[in-house]
């Protein structure tokens, strides 16, 4: 006899949360505390030694944050989760547990620009070397693998939108190479796509975007799929070697199929310290409760806006995989059948000046550097985030002078289109 | 009985019924998984009896170590097998010869022996394989959620504090809450291979 499995919307509301054991409070309380008293010296020893479950200090764990962690893990179908101060923090913690100085990882070159920066510059100081591959040519991932490769990293739907990674194909390459496959699922969210079902071993999120969804909190998450065997060889010493700071315990042996999430918590988060505030965890949790409703509306609005804008005389091209003519439409149907997300780019025939004019003219769209808000957002990368680059570098980064990026909100679509219409008018 | 998945009520029923657990393969070394599970279950109120033919000392956490199940003077409700799958059959045979007979044979996470399970079931004994009673206790009480673990349970009923600090009772009303299918499939595909998780201490 097996139990009935609840659906996605039920999990979005309930997973991880239950009425508070002491007060019966139904909404998840904000445990705004740094620390937790011990029952006895022995209890403290059990907690510090990882022999019992519980909270010690909010940098390492917090009961409000734990609800968020379980909820994201449940929505992704993973064995365990860890919340972090930001999406970028999630990435650094994951790589801290996988790489030693001198090691390499393979990453798609179609990523959020901030991740390209982090991998290129910050990671270099740790001796972690990124090798770029091209999602338009899946075999380039295979060619990028070397004996030093410890992981492969892609986004599901890549920011600034338009590119959908053939995750099942990349997962096969990771499997053959014996390395974990990490997917940043920020733009799709588990409502549109579940990377673990496609062979991802680790999922990371910027909760700042659609999961939180209201533009009010920075946060990140790591989900352990529980699929990777860390003890097959000796390549992942954080997981398969005795840990001196925990009296010689071996994390994979002790925690089995959620050992990676535990390593991220008790080694990486503990020592690097990029913990999420419980208040932010509370806001993001509240956001997640409406994730299915919001994503449906985001995707419906975005498809309508993309269809309208592709026919506009001042628009040269639109890159949105939800459009049937888009070159990524087939992959979108395979991986995100319920919608291709709410972020996309388009090109203006009028180039740089036309981009500047549009972001200045709009009145409903907010001109800012974020995505995944209830509000519609707009940015002209060439005059803002990518300003320092040469024109050639801008084009290579998908931020040519003519490019405008939209993140479509959940307002009435007629109002969104009307604002773009007046913004594009002479 | 299908041993690929167990209902929460089956597992909760076992953990709520048994009181005395003999752990075969319990290690005296404080960094071994068996020691972790032994200590946790002891702290949760179970009468724990370590059994280990290779013992070097006399006791674990104040509990006397026996060399064989047959040496244990008290009745045993559940035998928890913390040894590799190939050692499970003789341990089950030994357990079935006890009088009174244990009600449950539990094989640790990573341990599965279908022949031993069939023998136990034919003798009227309940079987759990490839699970850890500590993890299952933590999951069904929801204590393990403090570590971000997906308990695969949901509930609109209050969790029940069970005395002391940060202790929750097993007697929580919950329904199933999501799956970890990919992890279960990975486990199955490696079974019989050399997957080294837990239960490696002998
Ligand atoms: C796809 C993607 N990953 C990661 C990040 C980084 O997340 P955070 O800003 O929360 O650090 C972002 C932020 O824009 C993003 O879009």
**Which residue's CA is the nearest one to ligand 1's atom 8?**
A87
Ligand 1 proximal residues by C-beta, below 6 Å = A 86-88, 112, 114-115, 155, 159, 184, 186-187, 206, 208-209, 218, 220, 371
Q: What is the mean pLDDT of residues A60-89?
A: 98
Nearest alpha carbon to residue B159 among A278, A289, A32, A23: A23
The C-alpha atoms of residue A1 and residue A361 are separated, in whole angstroms, by: 61
Which of the four pLDDT bands, split at 50, 70 and 90, describes residue B201?
Answer: very low
Nearest residue on chain A to B6, alpha-carbon basis: A2
Check residue B23 and give its pLDDT.
Answer: 98
Mutate to test the pocket of ligand 1, among A119, A159, A218 (most ligand atoms within 8 A of CB): A159
Query: ipTM of this predicted complex?
Result: 0.94
**Is B188 part of a structural domain of the chain?**
no
* Range from A95-109, A148-162, A257-271, A406-420 carrying the lowest mean pLDDT: A148-162
Which of the four pLDDT bands, split at 50, 70 and 90, describes residue B202?
Answer: very low
The C-alpha atoms of residue B44 and residue B180 are separated, in whole angstroms, by: 26
| Residue B193 predicted with pLDDT over 90 | no
The C-alpha atoms of residue B185 and residue B154 are separated, in whole angstroms, by: 23
Number of H helices, E strands in chain B: 6, 9
Which of the four pLDDT bands, split at 50, 70 and 90, describes residue A103?
Answer: very high
Could you give the dihedral angle defined by the CA atoms of residues B85, B89, B91 and B92, in that order, rounded to the nearest 10 degrees? 120
**Alpha carbon of A346: minimum distance to chain B alpha carbons (Å):** 37
Look-up of token digits 């933590």:
B138
- β-strands B63-64, B59-60 pairing: antiparallel
User: What is the residue extent of each domain of chain A?
Assistant: 8-287, 292-424
The C-alpha atoms of residue A6 and residue A180 are separated, in whole angstroms, by: 29
Query: For A191, what's the count of Cα atoms within 13 Å in the CB-facing half-sphere?
Result: 27
Q: Total domain count for chain B?
A: 1
Check residue A2 and give its pLDDT.
Answer: 57
**Is B160 part of a structural domain of the chain?**
no
**Is B195 part of a structural domain of the chain?**
no
Asked whether the beta carbons of A366 and A376 are under 8 A apart, the reply is yes
Check residue B127 and give its pLDDT.
Answer: 98
The C-alpha atoms of residue B141 and residue B136 are separated, in whole angstroms, by: 8
Q: What is the mean pLDDT of residues B35-46?
A: 96
DSSP A250-285: -HHHHHGGGHHHHHIIIIIIHHH--PPPHHHHHHHH
> In chain A, what residues touch B198 (CB-CB under 8 Å)?
253-254, 256
Q: What is the pLDDT of residues A300-316, one digit of tens each?
A: 999 999 999 999 999 99
> In chain B, what residues touch A39 (CB-CB under 8 Å)?
164-166
Look-up of token digits 């992959």:
A331
Same fold, A8-287 and A292-424: no
Nearest residue on chain B to A78, alpha-carbon basis: B180
Strand locations in chain B (E): 20-24, 47-51, 59-60, 63-64, 78-81, 104-107, 126-128, 153-154, 175-176
Inspect the interface and report whether the beta carbons of B148 and A81 lie closer than 8 Å: yes
Interface test with A, best of B44, B138, B150, B191 (most A CBs within 10 A): B150
β partners of residue A149:
A104
Domain at A8-287, CATH class:
alpha beta
Q: What is the pLDDT of residues A269-303, one digit of tens each?
A: 999 999 999 999 999 999 999 999 999 999 999 99
Check residue B195 and give its pLDDT.
Answer: 42
Name the residue facing B158 among A18, A242, A253 (closest C-beta): A18
Which of the four pLDDT bands, split at 50, 70 and 90, describes residue B198?
Answer: very low
Nearest alpha carbon to residue A85 among A62, A105, A107: A62
Tokens of B117: 């399970």
> In chain A, what residues touch B149 (CB-CB under 8 Å)?
70, 73, 79-80, 258, 261
Inspect the interface and report whether the beta carbons of B145 and A66 lie closer than 8 Å: yes
The C-alpha atoms of residue A7 and residue A17 are separated, in whole angstroms, by: 16
Tell me how far the alpha carbon of residue B106 lies from the centroid of ligand 1, in angstroms.
45
Nearest alpha carbon to residue A259 among A236, A230, A232, A233: A230
**Which residue's CA is the nearest one to ligand 1's atom 7?**
A87
* Range from A198-207, B38-47, B134-143, B176-185 carrying the lowest mean pLDDT: B176-185
| Neighbouring C-beta atoms of residue B64, cutoff 10 Å | 13
Give the single-character DSSP code of A119: I
Q: What is the mean pLDDT of residues B78-104?
A: 97
Tell me how far the alpha carbon of residue A265 lies from the centroid of ligand 1, in angstroms.
20
Residue A11 near chain B (CB below 8 Å) = yes
Inspect the interface and report whether the beta carbons of A247 and B30 lie closer than 8 Å: yes
> In chain A, what residues touch B144 (CB-CB under 8 Å)?
53
**Is B163 part of a structural domain of the chain?**
no
Burial class (CB in 10 A: 0-12, 13-18, 19+), B124: exposed
Domain at A292-424, CATH class:
alpha beta
Name the residue facing A249 among B31, B142, B148 (closest C-beta): B31
Quote the domain boundaries for residue B41: 8-140
Residues 234-273 (A) with a CB less than 8 A from some CB of B: 242, 246-249, 252-254, 256-258, 261-262, 265
Inspect the interface and report whether the beta carbons of A51 and B36 lie closer than 8 Å: yes
Nearest alpha carbon to residue A235 among A127, A151, A170: A151
| A9, A72, A276, A277, B139 from A282: Cα distances, Å | 18, 13, 10, 9, 22
Give the single-character DSSP code of A391: H
> In chain B, what residues touch A82 (CB-CB under 8 Å)?
148
Q: What is the pLDDT of residues A68-82, one digit of tens each?
A: 999 999 999 999 999
pTM for this predicted structure: 0.96
Q: What is the mean pLDDT of residues B1-30?
A: 96
| Residue B96 predicted with pLDDT over 90 | yes
Asked whether the beta carbons of A322 and A339 are under 8 A apart, the reply is yes
β partners of residue B49:
B22
The C-alpha atoms of residue A417 and residue B14 are separated, in whole angstroms, by: 60
| Phi, psi (deg, nearest 5) at residue A205 | -140, 145
Nearest alpha carbon to residue A247 among B197, B36, B202, B30: B30
Asked whether the beta carbons of A171 and A154 are under 8 A apart, the reply is no
Residues 45-74 (A) with a CB less than 8 A from some CB of B: 46, 49-55, 61, 63, 66-67, 69-70, 73-74
Check residue B188 and give its pLDDT.
Answer: 81
The C-alpha atoms of residue A186 and residue A114 are separated, in whole angstroms, by: 13
Interface test with B, best of A46, A53, A223, A263 (most B CBs within 10 A): A53
Asked whether the beta carbons of A394 and A416 are under 8 A apart, the reply is no
Q: What is the pLDDT of residues A142-189, one digit of tens each?
A: 999 999 999 999 999 998 868 999 999 999 999 999 999 999 999 999
Inspect the interface and report whether the beta carbons of A77 and B181 lie closer than 8 Å: yes
Q: What is the CATH number of the domain that holds B109?
A: 3.40.50.720
**Is B27 part of a structural domain of the chain?**
yes
Asked whether the beta carbons of A258 and A79 are under 8 A apart, the reply is yes
Which of the four pLDDT bands, split at 50, 70 and 90, describes residue B191?
Answer: low
């Amino acid at each position: 006899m097996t139990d009935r499995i609840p659906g996605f919307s039920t999990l979005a509301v309930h997973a991880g949360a239950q009425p508070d054991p002491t007060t019966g409070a139904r909404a998840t309380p904000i445990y705004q505390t740094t620390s937790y008293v011990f029952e006895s010296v022995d209890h403290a020893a059990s907690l510090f030694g990882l022999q019992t479950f519980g909270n010690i200090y909010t940098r390492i764990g917090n009961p409000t944050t734990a609800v968020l962690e379980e909820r994201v893990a449940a929505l992704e179908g993973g064995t365990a989760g860890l919340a972090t101060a930001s999406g970028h923090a999630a990435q650094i913690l994951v790589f801290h547990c996988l790489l030693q100085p001198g090691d390499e990882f393979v990453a798609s070159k179609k990523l959020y620009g901030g991740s390209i920066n982090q991998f290129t510059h910050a990671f270099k100081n740790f001796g972690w070397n990124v090798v770029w591959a091209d999602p338009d040519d899946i075999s380039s991932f295979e060619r990028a693998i070397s004996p030093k490769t410890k992981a492969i990293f892609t986004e599901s739907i890549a920011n600034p939108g338009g590119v959908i990674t053939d995750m099942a194909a990349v997962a096969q390459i990771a499997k053959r190479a014996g390395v974990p496959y990490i997917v940043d699922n920020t733009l799709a969210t588990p409502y549109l796509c579940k990377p673990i079902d496609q062979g991802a071993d680790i999922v990371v999120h910027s909760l700042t975007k659609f999961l939180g969804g209201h533009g009010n909190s920075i946060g990140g998450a790591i989900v352990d799929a529980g699929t990777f065997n860390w003890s097959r060889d000796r390549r992942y010493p954080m997981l398969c070697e005795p840990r001196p700071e925990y009296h010689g315990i071996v994390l994979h042996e002790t925690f089995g199929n959620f050992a990676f999430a535990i390593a991220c918590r008790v080694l990486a988060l503990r020592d690097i310290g990029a913990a999420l505030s419980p208040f932010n965890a509370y806001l993001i949790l509240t956001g997640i409760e409406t994730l299915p409703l919001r994503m449906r509306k985001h995707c419906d609005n975005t498809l309508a806006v993309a269809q309208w804008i592709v026919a506009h005389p001042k628009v040269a091209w639109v890159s949105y995989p939800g459009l049937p003519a888009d070159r990524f439409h087939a992959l979108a149907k395979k991986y995100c059948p319920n919608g291709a997300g709410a972020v996309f780019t388009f090109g203006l025939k009028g180039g740089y000046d036309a981009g500047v004019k549009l972001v200045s003219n709009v009145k409903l769209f907010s001109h800012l550097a974020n995505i995944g808000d209830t509000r519609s957002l707009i940015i002209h990368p060439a005059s803002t985030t990518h300003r320092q680059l040469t024109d050639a570098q801008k084009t290579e980064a998908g931020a040519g002078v003519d490019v405008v990026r939209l993140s479509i909100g959940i307002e009435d679509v007629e109002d969104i289109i009307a604002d773009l219409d007046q913004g594009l008018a002479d | 009985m299908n041993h690929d998945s167990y209902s929460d009520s089956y597992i909760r029923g076992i953990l709520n019924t048994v009181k005395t657990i003999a752990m075969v393969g319990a290690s005296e070394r404080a960094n071994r998984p068996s020691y972790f599970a032994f200590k946790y279950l002891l702290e949760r109120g179970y009468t724990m009896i370590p059994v280990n033919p290779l013992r070097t000392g006399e006791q674990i956490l104040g509990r006397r170590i026996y060399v064989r199940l047959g040496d244990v003077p008290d009745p045993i409700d559940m035998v928890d097998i913390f040894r590799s799958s190939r050692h499970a059959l003789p341990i089950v045979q030994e357990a079935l010869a006890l009088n009174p007979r244990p009600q449950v044979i539990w094989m640790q996470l990573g341990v599965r022996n279908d022949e031993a399970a069939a023998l136990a079931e034919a003798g009227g004994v309940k079987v759990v394989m490839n699970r850890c009673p500590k993890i299952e206790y933590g999951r069904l009480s929801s204590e393990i959620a403090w570590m971000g673990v997906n308990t695969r349970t949901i509930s609109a009923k209050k969790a029940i504090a069970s005395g002391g600090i940060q202790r929750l009772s097993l007697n929580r009303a919950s329904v199933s809450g999501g799956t970890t299918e990919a992890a279960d499939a990975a486990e199955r595909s490696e079974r019989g291979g050399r997957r080294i998780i837990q239960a490696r201490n002998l």
